[in-house]
Amino acid sequence: MGTVAAALDYDAQLMIRVKSGDDASFALLLEKHRVPVIHFLYRMVQNGAVAEELAQEVFLRVYRSRGTYEPTAKFTTWLFRIATHLALNSLRDGKNERTEARLDGESGEASSLQVSDARPSVEQVMVRQSRLDEVREAIAGLPEKQRAAVLMHKYEEMDYAQIAKVLNCSESAVKSLLFRAYETLRARLAHMA
C-alpha cells in the first residue's frame, strides 16, 4: 500500500526515471525543489552561503542515491529528511557560526516589501529590520527539532504526519514539538501584532 501511495507521487516517478538514467528528470526535480530546500536550510542555519552549500550536498546525495532509490515514501519526505539531517549536523558542528547579522542585506527582500511609489523612511527601515531580527533570534533560540518542525509546518506547509516522517518520530510527538515551539514564539513575538 505504501508503494502504491508513493507511486502517485509525481516526484517519485521522476526519481525512478533518474534511476534509469534520465538526467533530465533530475533537472526537473532540482528545478521544483531547489528553492524550498535552500530556504528551509537558510532558516535552519541562518546563513545564506552555508544554506546553499548544504543544499548542494542534499541534491548531490539524492543523485548519488538514485541507484538504490525505492519509492516507499513521498519524495519530499525523503528530500527534507536529508536536508534536516545535514542542517542538524551543521548546527552541531558549528559550521554556521558566522550567522548573518542582517536578513535583508543579501536577499533583495527589502525591494519586494517596498511600496513602489513611496520609499520607506529610515525609521521604517530600522523598525522593520528590528522586527526581522527579533523573528530570526526567536527561531534561532528554539531547540533544533522544534525549529525544524516549525519551519516545515509554517513555510513548507507540511502536515503533522509528514513532519513526523521527516523527523522520524510520532505524530503526537510532532504536535508536542510544535505546541512547545509556538508557545515560546508567542511569548517572544506576540507583541508584534
Partner 1 sequence: MKCPSENKEEADLLALSAGKLEPARAAATEEHLKACSACSRFVEQQRAVWHALDGWEAPAVTPDFDRRLFQRIEENAGRRNWFGAFRTALLRHGLPVAAAACLIVAAGVVSQRSPDSAGPRQPQGTQVENLQPEQVEHAVDDLQMLSDFSGAARADADEL
Number of residues that bind partner 1 (CB under 8 A): 63
Give dist(CA 55, CA 160) in Å, integer: 24
Which part of the chain contacts partner 1 (CB under 8 A), choosing from 12-20, 117-125, 141-149, 181-189? Answer: 181-189
161 φ/ψ angles, rounded to the nearest 5 degrees: -60, -45
| Residue 45 binds partner 1 (CB under 8 A) | no
| Residue 107 binds partner 1 (CB under 8 A) | yes
Q: Hey, which residues between 15 and 44 contact partner 1 (CB under 8 A)? A: 27, 30, 34-35, 38-39, 42-43
**Nearest alpha-carbon partner for 66 in 108, 35, 117, 27:** 27
Whether 41 contacts 74, CB under 8 Å: no
Within a 13 Å sphere around the CA of 33, how many CA atoms are in the beta-carbon half?
26
**Nearest alpha-carbon partner for 55 in 42, 73, 71, 68:** 42
Among 16, 28, 173, 189, binds partner 1 (CB under 8 A): 189
Whether 86 contacts 59, CB under 8 Å: no
Which part of the chain contacts partner 1 (CB under 8 A), choosing from 10-18, 118-126, 140-148, 173-181? Answer: 173-181
C-alpha cell recorded at residue 172? 503526537
| Residue 186 binds partner 1 (CB under 8 A) | yes
- Residue closer to partner 1 by CB (options 98, 131) is 131
Whether 82 contacts 61, CB under 8 Å: yes
Q: Give me the residues that bind partner 1 (CB under 8 A), please.
A: 1-3, 5, 27, 30, 34-35, 38-39, 42-43, 48, 51-52, 55-57, 59-61, 63-65, 68, 70, 72-73, 78, 81-82, 85-86, 89, 103, 106-109, 112-113, 128, 131-132, 134-136, 139, 154-155, 165, 168, 175, 178-179, 182, 185-186, 189-193
